[in-house]
Amino acid sequence: MVTAKARAVDGPDKPFRVAEIKRRDLDLHDVLIEIKYAGICHSDIHTAHGEWGPVNYPLVPGHEIAGIVTDVGTEVSKYKVGDRVGVGCMVDSCGECENCRKGEEQYCLKGNIQTYGGVDKYGEPTQGGYSTHIVVQENFVLKIPDNIELDKAAPLLCAGITTYSPLNHWGAASGKKVAVVGMGGLGHMAVQIAHAMGAEVTVLSQTLKKKEDGLQLGADHYYATSEPQTFEKLAGCFDLIINTVSAKINLNAYLGLLNLDGTLVNVGAPAEPLSLNVFNLIGHRRSFAGSMIGGIRETQEMLNFCAQHGIVPKIEVISAEQIDEAYERVLASDVKYRFVIDTNTI
Ligand code: NAP
Ligand code: ZN
C-alpha cells in the first residue's frame, strides 16, 4: 500500500486541506503512477460543491492526470517504470458489455468507474489526481507522446478528449462550419482541435475579451453573445455547435444558429435542466445531442493527434495552496485557460 499526499475537500462550502490517502497494492495489471501535474476541470468544481448530487466526502478531485510510472504489477504488458503516462476521467469499466467492447468504456452499461467519487471493484472509494500517487489498471492508462510536456498533457485527458470526441463523431472537417460556445478549458481545446481537423471555426464567447487568443488558437471568427445582433447575423450558419458552457444558457437562441441538419452538442454539464422549444429542431431537422468524454482508444488517438498537430492547452501552473482561489477564478470565467496543479507542492 502506498500512502499518497493529497488535497481533499470535506463539504460543499469547505476549503481544500492537506490529506493522506491510501493507494492499493498493485494487482496483476495495475500501474503505480507518481503524479506530476493535475488539471482543474470545471467538473471538479461542480462535484466538490455537491451540485451534481450527493458526494462521499472527503473528496480528492482531479481527472486530468499526468505523471511517471514508478511500479507495475507482475502481468502489466503495456507500461514500464519510467514511462510518461496520463489518466483521465475513468479508471475502470466492466470490459464486457456491448459499449465496452466497442471501445466506448465511458458508456459502460454497468457504469464506468470514475477516477474520483466512484467505488472501485475492490469496494473502495476512488480518489483523484490532486495527489502524489495513483494506482490504475493498465487498460485505463494513456501514453503521453514525447513532444507533449507533462504539465500541458494533463488537461488533454479531459478537456482534450471531451471536445475531440464529438468533433470527430459529428465530422468536423474541411467544408464544415463549427461554432464553439464558451472559451474556457474545454472551449479553447475545441477551437484548436476543430481548426486542426480543417473546419471553419467560430467562437461564441460572452465578451470579446479573449478574441485575440481565440484567433491565435485557430478560430476564423469570434463573436460576443452579449450582443443581440450576433444571433441575427449568424442565424442558420453552423453545421455543428459544441456548447462547453458550465451554466444554463438559452439553448433556443443557439439552436437558431444551426443550418439544415445541423447539430448542437452539449458537453457543458450545468446542474440545472435546459429548456428547449422543439419547434427549433423540427423546422430545420436539427439535432440536439450530448457527449461524455471519450473511450480509451479514442483518448490515445486524441493525444497522438495533438502531438502531431502541435496542439497543447494554454495553462497556468499553480501550487496546491492556490486550489480554492483557482476555483473562484474558474467560476468567474477568469482562467486562461486551464489551471494545472504542480503536485510537488501538495
Ligand atoms: P470553464 O473553463 O469554466 O469554461 C466554461 C466557459 O463557459 C467559461 O470560460 C465561459 O466562457 C463560459 N461561461 C461560463 N459561465 C457562463 C454563463 N453564465 N453564460 C454563458 N457562458 C458562460 O469550464 P470547463 O472546464 O471548460 O467545463 C465546461 C463544462 O463542461 C462544465 O460544465 C464541465 O462540468 C463540463 N464537462 C463535461 C464533460 C463531458 O464529458 N461532457 C467533460 C468535462 C467537462 P466565455 O468567457 O468565453 O464566455
Ligand atoms: Zn473534466
**Cα–Cα dist 251/149, whole Å:** 37
pLDDT digits (tens, 9 = 90+) for 202-230: 999 999 999 999 999 999 999 999 998 99
Cα(44) to centroid(ligand 2), Å: 7
Residues 209/190, Cβ–Cβ less than 8 Å: no
Which residue has a Cα nearest atom 23 of ligand 1? Answer: 42
Which residue has a Cα nearest atom 16 of ligand 1? Answer: 247
- Which three three-digit cell numbers place residue 265? 452538442
Q: What is the pLDDT of residue 313?
A: 98
Mean pLDDT confidence for 10-17: 97
Reported as a pLDDT band with limits 50, 70 and 90, residue 20 is very high
Q: Is 334 exposed, middle or buried (0-12, 13-18, 19+ CB in 10 A)?
A: exposed
Q: What is the pLDDT of residue 257?
A: 98
pLDDT digits (tens, 9 = 90+) for 36-50: 999 999 999 999 999
Q: Indicate which ligand has the atom closest to the C-alpha of 63.
A: 2
Cα(228) to centroid(ligand 2), Å: 31
Q: What is the pLDDT of residue 113?
A: 98
Residues near ion ligand 2 (CB < 5 Å) are: 41, 43, 158
Mean pLDDT confidence for 222-243: 97
Cα(18) to centroid(ligand 2), Å: 22
Phi, psi of 115 (to 5 degrees): -60, -35
pLDDT digits (tens, 9 = 90+) for 138-158: 999 999 999 999 999 999 999
| 232 Cβ contact partners less than 8 Å away, ≥ 6 residues apart | none
Which residue has a Cα nearest atom 34 of ligand 1? Answer: 43
pLDDT digits (tens, 9 = 90+) for 96-130: 999 999 999 999 999 999 999 999 999 999 999 99
Mean pLDDT confidence for 305-334: 98
Cα(279) to centroid(ligand 2), Å: 32
Mean pLDDT confidence for 182-190: 98
pLDDT digits (tens, 9 = 90+) for 256-271: 999 999 999 999 999 9
**Which architecture characterizes domain 2-158+313-345 according to CATH?**
Alpha-Beta Complex (3.90)
Q: What is the largest CA-CA distance in the chain?
A: 62
Which residue has a Cα nearest atom 12 of ligand 1? Answer: 182
Please list every protein residue whose CB sits less than 6 Å from any atom of ligand 1.
Answer: 41-43, 46, 158-159, 162, 182-187, 205-206, 210, 244-247, 249, 267-270, 291-293, 330, 333, 335
| 176 Cβ contact partners less than 8 Å away, ≥ 6 residues apart | 198, 199, 200, 239, 240
| Overall fold of domain 160-290 | Rossmann fold (3.40.50)
**Cα–Cα dist 317/323, whole Å:** 11
**Cα–Cα dist 142/301, whole Å:** 10
Q: What is the pLDDT of residue 197?
A: 98
Cα(181) to centroid(ligand 1), Å: 9
Which of ligand 1's atoms lies nearest the C-alpha of 246? 32
Q: What is the mean pLDDT of the chain?
A: 98
Mean pLDDT confidence for 6-13: 97
Which of ligand 1's atoms lies nearest the C-alpha of 330? 3
Domain ranges across the chain: 2-158+313-345, 160-290
Q: What is the pLDDT of residue 326?
A: 98
Reported as a pLDDT band with limits 50, 70 and 90, residue 284 is very high
Q: Indicate which ligand has the atom closest to the C-alpha of 61.
A: 2
